[in-house]
């Protein structure tokens, strides 16, 4: 079972605890003062951190982020072009470093006899 953690600031811990208790289970609240800042650390065992994040984001909790569902593809440019379909957004990992979100697009030369080529286009 995974451990969900959320650092609540500015008195928002009561609302978050109420939301989590109604939807999932009762969370554990503890005072926190450390590298992430100062506030109330909310922890709760859960099956899916993504589901809890999405739930808090849908309920407009400040600081909650709905996680991206992009496919992660690793390899050089030629490997990635073989693994991904056209116009499908993905996150590219090259030599162990995240390059960011990309998509594969087809660039045409304008005439049917010459064809075209594949290009990786950044989404940033």
Q: What is the total count of domains within the chain?
A: 2
β 71-74/90-94 pair status: parallel
Q: Is residue 95 part of a domain?
A: yes
- Pair 76, 38 in one domain: no
| Same domain, yes or no: 44 and 88 | no
pLDDT at 43: 95
Measure the CA–CA gap between 48 and 66, rounded to whole angstroms. Answer: 13
Sign of CA dihedral 22, 24, 26, 27: negative
Are 86 and 45 in a shared domain?
no
* Same-domain check for residues 6 and 47: yes
Q: List per-residue pLDDT tens for the chain, 124 residues long.
A: 889 999 998 889 999 999 999 999 999 999 999 888 899 999 999 998 888 988 998 898 887 876 667 788 899 999 999 999 998 888 888 888 888 889 999 988 877 777 788 999 988 8
Q: Does 37 map to a domain?
A: yes
pLDDT (0 to 100) of residue 109: 82
Task: Specify the pLDDT at position 21.
Answer: 94
Q: Are strands 37-46 and 71-74 parallel, antiparallel or unpaired?
A: unpaired
Q: Are residue 53 and residue 81 in the same domain, yes or no?
A: no
Q: How many CB atoms lie within 10 A of CB 96?
A: 6
Residues paired with 16 in a beta bridge: none
Same-domain pairing of 15 and 53? yes
Question: Has residue 63 been placed in a domain?
Answer: no
pTM score over 0.75:
no
Same domain, 51 and 77: no
Residue whose token pair is 């470093």: 97
Can you give the residue range of the structural domain that contains 35?
2-58
In a domain, 66, yes or no: no
Query: Which pLDDT does position 115 carry in this prediction?
Result: 79
């Amino acid at each position: 079972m995974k451990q969900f953690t959320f650092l609540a600031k500015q008195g928002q811990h009561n609302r978050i605890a109420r939301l989590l208790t109604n939807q999932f289970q009762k969370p554990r609240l503890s005072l926190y003062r450390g590298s992430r800042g100062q506030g109330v650390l909310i922890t709760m065992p859960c099956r899916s951190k993504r589901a809890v994040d999405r739930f808090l984001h849908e309920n407009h909790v400040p600081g909650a982020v709905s996680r991206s569902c992009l496919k992660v593809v690793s390899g050089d440019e030629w490997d990635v072009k073989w693994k991904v379909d056209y116009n499908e957004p993905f996150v590219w990992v090259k030599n162990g470093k995240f390059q960011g979100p990309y998509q594969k697009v087809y660039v045409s030369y304008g005439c049917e006899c010459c064809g075209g080529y594949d290009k990786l286009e950044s989404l940033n």
